[in-house]
Amino acid sequence: MIMVAAGALLAAAVSSCSTQGAIGPFGHPTEPGEQCIPLAGANVVTDGLEAVQNHASTTAVIDKLALVRPKHLLLDRAWVVPTDHQLLGATHGYPPPHYQVTGWHWDRRQPADGATVPPLSSGKYFRMNILVVVRLPPRVTRGSTPGIEIWYHVGDSHYYLRFETALVAAQHRC
């Protein structure tokens, strides 16, 4: 009887906690993988292989975007770019101002921290491309991160999403 009551009390306490870590409106299965991008003489590389869709009925706000435990890799910039079709992909250097990617709206980009993501049901965009620009510190030839993490909220509910595609940037070959 005491164990049942304790179990019910624990379940009630857990359900009343913040939704941090819960699968939220951006939630989707993420597949582990790795993307290695050679710098090819550039100072930075741009990774735009990840995207989110907001399945809530109201706008979501990205509170913070970060690299997961980066090793010799620095986050230079991060944006959220609306797209009706393709994702940017990965490239060395910064994205050019007028990048020709089908359905990609670079002119409507937002800094990732504080970006608003409209609900999918609004019909504004199909998804939001997550773009990170990373660089190596001086005298380092290779850096990596096991993924990208995003903290966001919809109304009073807070969520966490981790993309599990590792990113490697290398001065020479990958």
4-17 tens-digit pLDDT: 333 333 333 333 33
Encode pLDDT of 61-89 as tens digits.
999 999 999 999 999 999 999 988 767 77
Question: 167: exposed, middle or buried (C-beta count within 10 Å: 0-12, 13-18, 19+)?
Answer: buried
Report CA 143 to chain centroid distance, whole Å.
18
Q: What is the mean pLDDT of the chain?
A: 82
Task: Please give the Cα distance from 129 to 76 (Å, whole number).
Answer: 17
Tell me, yes or no, whether 116 lies in a domain.
Answer: yes
Report CA 62 to chain centroid distance, whole Å.
9
pLDDT over 90 percentage in the chain: 48
Tell me, yes or no, whether 70 lies in a domain.
Answer: yes
Tell me, yes or no, whether 59 lies in a domain.
Answer: yes
Q: Do the beta carbons of residue 59 and residue 133 sit within 8 Å?
A: no
Question: How many domains, in total, are found in the chain?
Answer: 1
Among 27, 20, 22, smallest CA distance to 63 is for 20
Q: Is the pLDDT of residue 106 over 60?
A: yes
Q: Residue 122: pLDDT band by 50, 70, 90 thresholds? A: confident
Tell me, yes or no, whether 8 lies in a domain.
Answer: no
Task: Please give the Cα distance from 131 to 48 (Å, whole number).
Answer: 4
Tell me, yes or no, whether 150 lies in a domain.
Answer: yes
Domain interval for residue 64: 20-170
For residue 78, what are its two tokens? 């991060």
Please indicate whether residue 4 or residue 103 has the higher confidence score (pLDDT).
103
Tell me, yes or no, whether 160 lies in a domain.
Answer: yes
Residues near 141 by Cβ (< 8 Å), separated by ≥ 6? 170, 171, 172
Tell me, yes or no, whether 5 lies in a domain.
Answer: no
Read off the pLDDT of each residue in 27-32 and give the average, rounded to a whole number: 73
